[in-house]
Amino acid sequence: MKISCVILTMGNRVAELDRAVESALNQIDGDIEVVIVGNGADVPKLKAVPPPGSSIRTIRLEQNSGIPAGRNRGVEECSGDIVLFLDDDGWYASQKIAAHVRERFATEPDLAVISFRVMDPEGGNGQRRHVPRLRAGDPERSSPVTTFLGGACAIRRSAFLQVGGLPERFFYAHEETDLAWRLLGEGYRIEYDAEMVMYHPQVPPTRHADFYRLNARNRVWLARRNLPWPLAVLYLLDWIVLTLIRERSGEALRAWFKGFAEGLREPAGERRPMTWKTAWRMLRLGRPPIV
């Protein structure tokens, strides 16, 4: 199975991008096709040189179209059966990533996504949000999950295309969960594989200026697109309560509720509600679609 690695960049982290590309090209089970998408920026000249059998391709988008659109363009341009998504400031901890994911996807035809374990290169404890399940206390435990980390994963390309890829209107936040729910609805599995490690600096998601607004808007769109209406109402009420409990900043709450209102008011895109069978499956996996 051929492997491609799609990396988004804004062109402003040259050394980090070089490190990310090197970590993909240096896999011992090689032949990696690296596709770098300049999201509204030129792809900088890199030091990394692909070994025989591997390659580097670059694409420049005229404007920053957001994370899901950038990754969709990368998948459209690549030729791999398996697609690795990697952040430009992340890198693989092992040279055995390619061999591991190739073997798993070849022998498990219902496996759609492997979500990697994200570790702090400085040795910190890591962030709870990087373990895509409710019981996140032990990041070294692998398990089936109902969502995954967009910048630290491997995806079966045919499954990705089958459900329409990532929702481009989201721009940033919850686009992976939208894709995950649709994959689960088609009968695929998603696994958090703690053996597969990606290093990434420990940075808070709130560093993004529109974090609270987009987080809330996209959560509403996620529910409107994917959940039966009774579950959609419960899901959104649940997140209103959780947000009021968690957030103490008035500014953050104002931004969050502004985004929530946008999510109710603006078009969410195609609605394909999951079946109750899929919702029950998610409940059995430990994350019902109301949390």
Strands 55-61 and 91-92: unpaired
The pLDDT value given to residue 49: 92
For domain 3-203, give the CATH number: 3.90.550.10
The pLDDT value given to residue 138: 93
The pLDDT value given to residue 124: 76
Q: How far apart are CA 66 and CA 150, in angstroms?
A: 13
The pLDDT value given to residue 212: 96
Domain boundaries, the chain: 3-203, 208-284
Q: How far apart are CA 282 and CA 199, in angstroms?
A: 29
Instruction: Single out the residue of 75, 91, 88 nearest to residue 41, CA to CA.
Output: 88
The pLDDT value given to residue 198: 96
191-231 pLDDT, tens digit per residue, is: 999 999 999 988 777 666 799 999 999 999 999 999 999 99
Over residues 51-64, the mean pLDDT reads 95
Q: Alpha carbon 158 to chain centroid distance?
A: 17
Over residues 103-126, the mean pLDDT reads 93
Q: Alpha carbon 152 to chain centroid distance?
A: 7
CB contact burial 157-190 (16+ within 10 A = b; e otherwise): bebbeebebbbbbbbbbbbbbbbbbbbbbeebbb
Instruction: State the DSSP H helix or E strand holding residue 152, giving kind and residue range, or none if neither.
Output: strand 152-156
Calculate the average pLDDT of the chain.
Answer: 95
- 110-119, 202-211, 221-230, 257-266, range with the lowest pLDDT: 202-211
Over residues 149-178, the mean pLDDT reads 97
The pLDDT value given to residue 206: 67
In this prediction the pTM is 0.95
Structure tokens at 208: 């993004």
